[in-house]
Amino acid sequence: MQFPISSSPFTPRNNSISRVMLHVLYALLPVTAIHSYLFGYGLLIQLLLAVSTALVTESLCLLLRKRAIKPALYDLSAVLSAVLLALAIPSIAPWWVIVSGMVFAIGIGKQVYGGLGYNPFNPAMVGYVFLLISFPLQMSLWQESSNALSLSDSLAIIFANGSVLDGISGATLLDGVKTQLSTGLSLIDIKMLPVDERLNLIPFAYCVGGLWLLHKKIIQWQIPTALILGLCLPATLAYLIDSRQFSSPIFHLVSGATFCAAFFIATDPVTAATSNKGRWIYAGLIGCLIYIIRTWGGYPEGVAFAVLLANLAAPSIDIYTRSKIR
């Protein structure tokens, strides 16, 4: 019997970009399913718009740069950015919001720097911040979870300027708590707000997908752990000092995009720090910044800004945590 003989390095051969991206996309399936179950068809339409815009923008940019189009489309990185951005924005925002955000994310956030591997910032977060700053009104149309929208209603709201918006949109939990804290109410009074328990399914779904990615060794455990610690340590400290002013660490963990950031955004291999020590610092910094922006910043949610700031710091973190060769 003969065994095939191969030379070093003896690494698994199937760890290509498209395999990594495909696994991350699989891991986002649970949250997509639960989101659609809770809120209706909005997200699916946004996903369709985002992916098609991302692919068209990527192709046009590559055409202008006179590069091969096919490999860049098949590596699925643009599709992943599109899915992340579609998940990040309100699912009942008008169609031009996701389209312009995607054009900016891929065009300015990625291709201007030279495409995948050269972009210093996470393209999905560049697109999100662009939308948040440019269209504050449309970006705060968060849907109430009480009734899921039918396909025709979702289409009407996204493609025609539906006037039904007032009835179905409301503040997110982070937003509501922040606004009421600023009016002088203490957290004990705010706790009375009715909260849909089913909403906790969404962070749970992110967790499931993330843990599966960890199991498949697509992402490293250091980044999610450090991010969650970086967020929870200051939150716990502040909560112990004054629980009437500062939200509990559990609240910070399950509301907003904490788990999404921990497992799917901060772990982007291009824009994160690359050494193990660097990953701890990088993700811990994101967690801390999320807490600071949520608590004292002007926006209710700080994930996108925190990630972009840490992206900016990642090259320096890499330089200072480089392992020394003796």
Partner 1 sequence: MDKNIRTSFINGLWHNNQALVALLGLCPLLAVSNTVVNSLGLAIATTLTLVLSNGLIAYSRGFILAEIRLPLFVLMIAGIVTIIELMMNAWFYQLYKSLGIFIPLIVTNCAIIGRAEVFASKNPVLPSLLDGLVMGLGFSVALILLGALREVLSMGTLFSQAELLFGASAQHWQMNVFDDYSGVLLAALPPGAFIALGLLVALKNALDLLFSKK
Q: Which letter does DSSP use for residue 143 in this model? A: B
Q: How far is the CB of 130 from partner 1 (least distance, A)?
A: 6
Residue 130 as a binder of partner 1 (CB under 8 A): the answer is yes
Cβ closest to partner 1, residue 63 vs residue 112:
112
- CA dist., res. 218 & res. 15, Å (int): 9
Place of tokens 């200051």: 234
Of residues 173 through 202, those in contact with partner 1 by CB under 8 A are none
Task: Spell out a b/e string for 22-45, using b for 16 or more CB atoms within 10 Å of the CB, else e.
Answer: bbbbebbebbbebbbebbbbbbbb
β-bridge partners, 143:
169
Cβ closest to partner 1, residue 127 vs residue 209:
127
Q: Which stretch binds partner 1 (CB under 8 A): 42-50, 133-141, 188-196, 236-244?
A: 133-141
Residue 237 as a binder of partner 1 (CB under 8 A): the answer is no
Query: Which candidate, 3, 7, 20, 5, places its Cα nearest to that of 268?
Result: 20
- CA dist., res. 183 & res. 186, Å (int): 9
Which x/- pattern over 99-118 shows residues binding partner 1 (rule: CB under 8 A)? -x-------x---x------
**# residues near partner 1 by CB under 8 A:** 10
Residue 172 as a binder of partner 1 (CB under 8 A): the answer is no
Query: Which candidate, 325, 218, 229, 237, places its Cα nearest to that of 281?
Result: 229
Residue 136 as a binder of partner 1 (CB under 8 A): the answer is yes
Cβ closest to partner 1, residue 74 vs residue 96:
96
Q: Which stretch binds partner 1 (CB under 8 A): 42-50, 84-92, 126-134, 170-178?
A: 126-134
Task: Spell out a b/e string for 261-277, using b for 16 or more CB atoms within 10 Å of the CB, else e.
Answer: bbbbbbbbebbbbebee
Sign of the CA dihedral with 160 first, then 163, 164, and 170 last: positive
Cβ closest to partner 1, residue 130 vs residue 282:
130
Q: How far is the CB of 133 from partner 1 (least distance, A)?
A: 5
Q: How far is the CB of 293 from partner 1 (least distance, A)?
A: 17
The alpha carbon of residue 12 and the mean position of all alpha carbons in its chain are separated, in whole angstroms, by 29
Determine which residue in the list 63, 133, 151, 237 makes contact with partner 1, applying CB under 8 A. Answer: 133
Residue 137 as a binder of partner 1 (CB under 8 A): the answer is yes
* Helix/strand/coil percent split, the chain, to 5: 65, 0, 35
Q: Which stretch binds partner 1 (CB under 8 A): 83-91, 130-138, 170-178, 206-214?
A: 130-138
Contact assessment for residue 266 and residue 230, using Cβ atoms and an 8 Å cutoff:
no
- CA dist., res. 57 & res. 60, Å (int): 5
Q: Which stretch binds partner 1 (CB under 8 A): 75-83, 128-136, 244-252, 272-280?
A: 128-136
Residues at the site binding partner 1, with contacts judged by CB under 8 A: 100, 108, 112, 130, 133-138
